[in-house]
Amino acid sequence: MSHNWDLVVIGAGAVGSAALRAASESGAKALCLEQHAPAHERGSSHGLSRIFRHAYFEHPDYVPLLRHSTARFESLERESGVDLLHRCGMLVAGPPGSEVVAGSLESGRRWNLAVEALDAATLRARFPWFAYPDDAVGAFEANAGIVRPEAAVHAALGAARSRGAELRIGTRVRAIVEDATGVWVETDAGRERANAVIVAAGAWTSRLLPELAHLLTVTRQVQAWVAAASGIDARAMPCWLVDRGRLEHALYGLAPDPVAPMNVAEGSSPAHHPKVGLHGSSDLVDPDLGAAPVADTDLERLLRAYRVVAPALAGRVVAAATCLYTMSPDGQFLAGTRRGARRIHFAAGLSGHGFKLAPALGDALVDLAIEGRTELPIGFLSPARFAEVGSRS
Ligand SMILES: Cc1cc2nc3c(=O)[nH]c(=O)nc-3n(C[C@H](O)[C@H](O)[C@H](O)COP(=O)(O)OP(=O)(O)OC[C@H]3O[C@@H](n4cnc5c(N)ncnc54)[C@H](O)[C@@H]3O)c2cc1C
């Protein structure tokens, strides 16, 4: 039997959970449909930690959205009573002229963020875990750190449900059809009727919005928790990203999580160790088939890079997992209202940097769905920037 909903959200990952929370705050009668489970291991929002930061080399226009998102994570912490953020700082370093370092400093200048410019001597003195060439440059933002993805997704869904929103897991949406008065949401368990729909389907977006398929590429990524070589205390480490030049993937690391719950059987958690990854492998994945499991060759490649960047840290791999990036052609998100539609809104192509921004995307999409407009500056994310596909946002 179908019901009438103000809003149906498709996907209970980073964006969908944030959208459901925002919808519930607005008093909308909202339903979230998830094909697997929230923050499951075949999507993009698992792995115990994500970096959040505000000095943004990817594009300075994200900074207002980043500030908004961090404030929303903080309010979710207060509402849920769950610690979601650990402020350990974020270091970026690279060769002279590094766009990552220059872009971080530039966004800091433009938006008046506290970001320090560092030379090689300062980098060595303050962040001794890494090997720097004599001409290395860096930037450090203290108001950055890790956000706990599974905890954040569950907290947002919990907050939404406590205000009456409904979450249905194990339900796959097959199609969405907009007509003059609403949207039919066809699922494998029947159909729902909604005034508006938010597609927050991550790697599966092009199944529901096929017009975006040529802009979205789903790739397999490997994240590994690596014990620091003996005698090194990694707990004081920040999150970090090292720009290894245009021809190499950047290597990034996340600080150990001081409050990660113990795995009872082993007496520790992978999250007690630094997590490292190479940003942006290009192995294509069909999300329904899933990514190939982590192989020795993946870990060898990762450790080879890690030993060069942080020889004193690169010890034993404690755990490893795959995860999906959904890349857009320029590495920036796609968000707005579906072209030719009024009631279908989406965020997609989060390109490996979307978790920290999910609250702003969720809020903006709910604004579009309920008010028909948003004050949040997401216009630069419209797919209209690619000639072939347009969107209003
Ligand atoms: C290894 C790795 C490291 C990362 N590091 C960072 C980082 O440090 N900082 C950062 O900000 N970001 C980072 N990211 C990126 C960030 O995690 C993602 O951009 C973000 O989690 C994507 O959220 P999403 O809601 O778009 O997708 P997901 O969280 O995958 O959610 C989409 C959901 O929709 C469901 N779904 C899809 N289709 C349907 C359907 N038809 N019916 C019902 N349900 C459906 C899926 O099952 C899934 O649960 C990283 C990503 C990876 C993989």
pLDDT tens per residue across span 22-42: 999 999 999 999 999 999 999
For residues 33 and 164, membership in a common domain is answered with yes
Q: Is 108 in the pocket of ligand 1 (CB under 6 A)?
A: no
Query: Taking 60 as the threshold, does the pLDDT of residue 390 lie above it?
Result: no
The span from the CA of 7 to the CA of 31, in Å, is 6
What's the 277 CA to ligand 1 centre distance in angstroms?
16
Which residue, by CA, sits nearest to atom 21 of ligand 1?
45
Whether the CB of 323 sits within 6 Å of ligand 1: yes
> Are residues 365 and 314 both part of a single domain?
no
Domain boundary at 312, 327, 342, which?
Answer: 327
Does residue 377 share a domain with residue 265? no
Domain annotation covers residue 72: no
| Phi/psi of residue 372, nearest 5 degrees | 85, 0
Same domain for 228 and 282, yes or no, is: yes
Q: What is the pLDDT of residue 45?
A: 98
Residues 25 and 106 grouped into a single domain: no
Pocket of ligand 1, candidates 50, 63, 65: which has the most ligand atoms within 8 Å of its Cβ, to mutate?
A: 50
Q: Give the three-state DSSP class for 182.
A: coil
Whether residue 13 is contained in a domain is answered as yes
Residues 129 and 225 in one domain: yes
Residues 249 and 118 in one domain: yes
| 70 lies in some domain | no
CATH number of the domain at 364, please. Answer: 3.50.50.60
Quick one: pLDDT band at residue 262, thresholds 50, 70, 90?
Answer: confident
Q: Average of pLDDT values for 135-142?
A: 98
Nearest ligand 1 atom, CA 353: 12
Rounded Cα–Cα distance for residues 249 and 98 (Å): 13
Residue type for 112, please?
N
Specify the ligand 1 atom closest to the Cα of 322.
Answer: 1
Q: 261 falls in which pLDDT band (50, 70, 90)?
A: confident
At 14, the pLDDT band (50, 70, 90 cuts) reads very high
Residues 221 and 303 reside in one and the same domain:
yes
Q: Which residue minimizes the CA distance to atom 28 of ligand 1?
A: 13
The percent of residues above 70 in pLDDT, for the chain, comes to 97
Tens digit of each residue's pLDDT (9 = 90 or more) over 324-372: 999 999 999 999 999 999 999 999 999 999 999 999 999 999 999 999 9
Q: Are residues 181 and 208 in the same domain?
A: yes
Give DSSP secondary structure letters for 218-273: EEEEEEEEEPPPTT--GGG--EEEE---TTSPPEEEE---TTPPPBTTTTB-GGGS
How far is the CA of 132 from the CAs of 94, 136, 145, 218, 389, in angstroms? 8, 6, 22, 33, 44
Q: How open is the CA angle 316-254-92, to the nearest 5 degrees? A: 120
- Does 393 score more than 50 pLDDT? no
> Domain tally for the chain?
2
Task: Tell me the per-residue pLDDT of 180-193, one tens digit each, with 9 for 90 and over.
Answer: 999 999 999 999 99
Alpha carbon of 212 to ligand 1 centroid (Å):
17
Q: What are 366-379's pLDDT values in tens digits?
A: 999 999 999 999 99
Give, using CA atoms, the residue closest to atom 15 of ligand 1: 352
Q: How far is CA 193 from the centre of its chain?
A: 29
- Tens-digit pLDDT profile for residues 91-137: 999 999 999 999 999 999 999 999 999 999 999 999 999 999 999 99
Rounded to whole angstroms, how far apart are CA atoms 283 and 114? 37
Q: Which residue has the tokens 């947002």?
A: 156
**Same domain, yes or no: 271 and 249:** yes
pLDDT at 233: 84
Range of the domain at 184: 4-47+150-213+332-385
CB 276, CB 302: distance < 8 Å: yes
Mean of the per-residue pLDDT values of the chain: 95
